[in-house]
Structure 1
Amino acid sequence: MAQDHDHTHGHRHDHAHGHAHSHRHHHHVDPDAGDRRVAAAVAVNLLLTLAQIVGGVISGSMALIADAIHNLSDAVSLVIAFGARKLSRKPRDKEMTFGYGRAEVVAALVNYVSLVVISVYLFAEGVSRLFNPPEIAGWTVVVIAGIALAVDLVTAALTYAMSKDSLNIRAAFLHNLADAATSVAVILGGAVILIWDWRLIDPILTIAISVYILWHALAEVRPVIRILMLGTPEDVQTDELSAAMAEVAGVESVHHVHLWQIDERRRSVEAHVVVAGTPAPVLAAIKRMLRERFDIGHSTLEVERPGQGCAEEDAPRPAV
């Protein structure tokens, strides 16, 4: 039984696929420039957190300290994203034979889960305040929320271009956008309280923001979970892929097809291919078709002869 593991191509593919990817995404950010942007965003958020804690202690405002903790969560989400970016560029080794690309997917999951937790907490806080509207110092709230909004918008601007190209950075970017939306709502709420003294606006806006954040986080986390669950790429149907492989000249049939997304940029397939003639040119043709038509550069193909039967089906099953 012949086996063809496309290892030599794996190295060429990582390089070639990188080029193909950058051509598809014209907004592709240089990794070092991207790192500098994320680092700047972290620094800005940490400075704001420090300023708010100092301001909160001096003015005795609990709201200010709570907002400082919120901004600290922004900085932490960016630190997680930054660390994952660095780790994902490590070359593959004996322990991680697919490389470290999924570090970004894991970081995105962590950040989305924390967003869900934050939104549930905000919802609960909003509901409790509906029944017991707090005394709110309008001017203090408006000024501080204005500063926080400015910082959130700077952070969002620093990470926006990169968020289109990375699940990981998009999670951190949404974290910031959620914070910016909170700040806008707080400013509106403070203004309404100053003008009409209608204190219910604060909890109503809090509930609205929490639902908005939750909706976004749940929508964005789906592709992340799909990758971690070894799901197929969203733009490729397994049946269509199997049919295309079976149509290659020299292929009698294809079975045991497994297709999955390694990380955001790489996909892989393994399959058993029944070949009547010489396997080498047939396998080369399949690999070429997979690259050109489905953008799959990593393929492991096992050759079987007609009528031979599948080795995996013939193997004795382990006792359960």
Structure 2
Amino acid sequence: MPHDHAHPHIDPDSGDRRVSIAIWANGILTVAQIVGGILSGSLALIADALHNFSDMASLVIAFAARKIARRPADASMTFGYGRIEIVAALINYTTLILIGFYLIYEGGMRMIDPPQVQGWTVVILGGIALVIDTLTAMLTYSMMKGSVNIRALFLHNLSDAAASVAVVVGGTLIILYDMRWVDPAITIGIALYILYLAFTEIGGPARTLMLGSPPDIDNEAVVRAMREVDGVADLHHVHLWQMQEHEVALDCHVVLTAQGWDESEGIKSAIKDRLRQDFGITHSSLEFEHEDRAHDDADLYGHHNADDKGKPHGHGNADSA
């Protein structure tokens, strides 16, 4: 089945402006919440401030990554700079995890001896934070579907908005019922939510950086489709990975029949057409081997072959597109 890799297009300059606005908004909010948290004695407010600070740092990283990712390929980075956004997303999710564990520790300490908290300060600053978090989430929502980097930011902002709601509710309970334990309890709840989001999403960037197979493509179906091309006897040493977030690549050894060897150019075109049309794979490198001189007992995936030590790699040719 064909895979549609099209995504809503946001003009790069417009996207940069959105991220810049979000950076300034989160920076101002972070300072206000830290000051308010110290003055009011609210750990939940400081927790929300730390979360917002991580958002600001994430936005700065994402902004830089968007700029770098547009650079063309060169001698140093022959695949281009697009993967910098994957790296940025991994950094952002990692900071979320560290912040989450820290907040659980601090919240646990305060559950033992809840301090006095000025509820009105918490409610007012929590309300302001909710407005800014919602604005930031709206700025990044339309951009997240085409970038794991921006998706990480959107989830940061979404979790911030949820945390701000919890902070407002906690401040209200403190005002009405002097329930001081609510503040550290909400802090722990925010932390658990942060960890849930981070651990749920971090696998994608990690998989890409580990050169894992694209999760939305069935490897077996790709192999089966290539084997079905007339003139193909077998495949081995298959590698399927994501060069960038929306660019899938494949390279492999294709064993051709004796008749197919004489028609290698046509077979190459047929394989590449099928890969492009059925799976959205636009970059493929194929090394052809004659079935009489193919690797013996070669692995389907990877490149290990217990019997090919010192043995020449078959007479073939490699083509890519």
Q: Distance in 1 between matches of 2:40 and 2:200?
A: 39
TM-score, normalised via structure 2 length = 0.85
CA deviation after TM superposition for structure 1 residue 51, in Å: 4.5
Indicate how the Cα distance of structure 1 residues 55 and 185 shifts in structure 2: closer, same or farther if over 3 A, else same: closer
CA deviation after TM superposition for structure 1 residue 282, in Å: 0.6
TM-score, normalised via structure 1 length = 0.85
Q: 2:136 aligns with which of 151, 155, 166?
A: 155
CA deviation after TM superposition for structure 1 residue 285, in Å: 0.8
Indicate how the Cα distance of structure 1 residues 286 and 115 shifts in structure 2: closer, same or farther if over 3 A, else same: same
CA deviation after TM superposition for structure 1 residue 278, in Å: 2.2
Q: Distance in 2 between matches of 1:52 and 1:127?
A: 21
Indicate how the Cα distance of structure 1 residues 43 and 222 shifts in structure 2: closer, same or farther if over 3 A, else same: same
Residue identity matched to 1:45: N
Q: How does 1:243-282 map to 2 (within 5 A)?
A: 243-275=224-256, 276=258, 277-282=262-267
The equivalent of 1:180 in structure 2 is: 161
Q: Distance in 1 between matches of 2:48 and 2:203?
A: 29
CA deviation after TM superposition for structure 1 residue 49, in Å: 3.4
Q: How does 1:59-70 map to 2 (within 5 A)?
A: 68-70=49-51
Name the SS for the 1:104 alignment partner. Answer: helix
CA deviation after TM superposition for structure 1 residue 305, in Å: 0.9
Q: Distance in 1 between matches of 2:225 and 2:34?
A: 61
Q: 1:289 aligns with which of 238, 257, 274?
A: 274
Q: Distance in 2 between matches of 1:222 and 1:154?
A: 27
The equivalent of 1:130 in structure 2 is: 111
Deviation per CA, 1:160-202, whole angstroms, max 9, x where unpaired? 1112221101111212222222221111011001111111111
Name the SS for the 1:252 alignment partner. Answer: strand
RMSD of the TM alignment (CA)? 2.3
Residue identity matched to 2:201: E
Q: 2:127 aligns with which of 146, 171, 184?
A: 146
Query: Is 2:213 aligned against 1:232?
Result: yes
Name the SS for the 1:234 alignment partner. Answer: coil
Q: Distance in 2 between matches of 1:189 and 1:50?
A: 20
Residue identity matched to 2:215: E
CA deviation after TM superposition for structure 1 residue 73, in Å: 2.3
Pick 1 or 2: higher relative contact order, CA cutoff 8 A, min separation 6. Answer: 1
Indicate how the Cα distance of structure 1 residues 187 and 218 shifts in structure 2: closer, same or farther if over 3 A, else same: same
Q: Distance in 2 between matches of 1:75 and 1:131?
A: 31
Q: Distance in 1 between matches of 2:48 and 2:187?
A: 13
Which runs of at least 4 in structure 1 moved beyond 4 Å after TM superposition? 50-57, 59-70
Indicate how the Cα distance of structure 1 residues 52 and 186 shifts in structure 2: closer, same or farther if over 3 A, else same: closer
Q: Distance in 2 between matches of 1:71 and 1:252?
A: 57
CA deviation after TM superposition for structure 1 residue 66, in Å: 6.7
Indicate how the Cα distance of structure 1 residues 201 and 51 shifts in structure 2: closer, same or farther if over 3 A, else same: closer
The equivalent of 1:91 in structure 2 is: 72
Residue identity matched to 1:290: L
Q: Distance in 1 between matches of 2:51 and 2:235?
A: 53
CA deviation after TM superposition for structure 1 residue 156, in Å: 1.0
Residue identity matched to 1:316: G
Q: Distance in 2 between matches of 1:130 and 1:54?
A: 22
Name the SS for the 1:190 alignment partner. Answer: helix
Query: Is 2:295 aligned against 1:314?
Result: no
- Give the percent of matched residue pairs that are identical in Structure 1 and Structure 2: 52
* Count of aligned pairs: 295
CA deviation after TM superposition for structure 1 residue 67, in Å: 5.3
Of the structure 1 ranges 252-261 and 111-120, higher mean CA displacement relative to structure 2 is found in: 252-261
Indicate how the Cα distance of structure 1 residues 54 and 186 shifts in structure 2: closer, same or farther if over 3 A, else same: closer
Name the SS for the 2:244 alignment partner. Answer: coil
Gaps of 5+ in 2: 297-304, 312-321
Indicate how the Cα distance of structure 1 residues 70 and 294 shifts in structure 2: closer, same or farther if over 3 A, else same: closer
Q: 1:74 aligns with which of 46, 55, 64?
A: 55
Deviation per CA, 1:70-120, whole angstroms, max 9, x where unpaired? 433221110101111111111111111111111010000000000011111
More helix by share: 1
Residue identity matched to 1:31: P
The equivalent of 1:12 in structure 2 is: none
